Amino acid sequence: MTNLAPDRADLILAAQTGDAASIDRLLVVCRADARRYARRHCHASDVDDAVQETLLTISRKVKGLKAAAARRSQPGSLRSRVQGQ
């Protein structure tokens, strides 16, 4: 499997232009990471809601994302950058 960071960075940049297909693809790519994070930090009954809220926040604040946040090695970085922390 190849490193996804450069692809994610390009995807974030494309999504920031308002390209609907890029935003959709970004959400698909982020879903697995969001689910993995939620499984570790939420009650089992809250995982689906947490993932949905995370993806909704990403879609609303995509223009504020930084391409560096796409690195997989820092699991919380994407969430913190979306929330502006």
Q: Helix, strand, coil: what percent of the chain each, to 5? A: 75, 0, 25
Give tens-digit pLDDT for 32-62.
999 999 999 999 999 999 999 999 999 998 8
Indicate yes or no: pTM above 0.75.
no
Grade residue 70 by pLDDT with cuts at 50, 70 and 90.
very low
* Every domain of the chain and the residues it spans: 5-70
| Furthest C-alpha separation in the chain | 36
CA distance 4 to 24: 17
Give tens-digit pLDDT for 2-11.
444 558 888 8
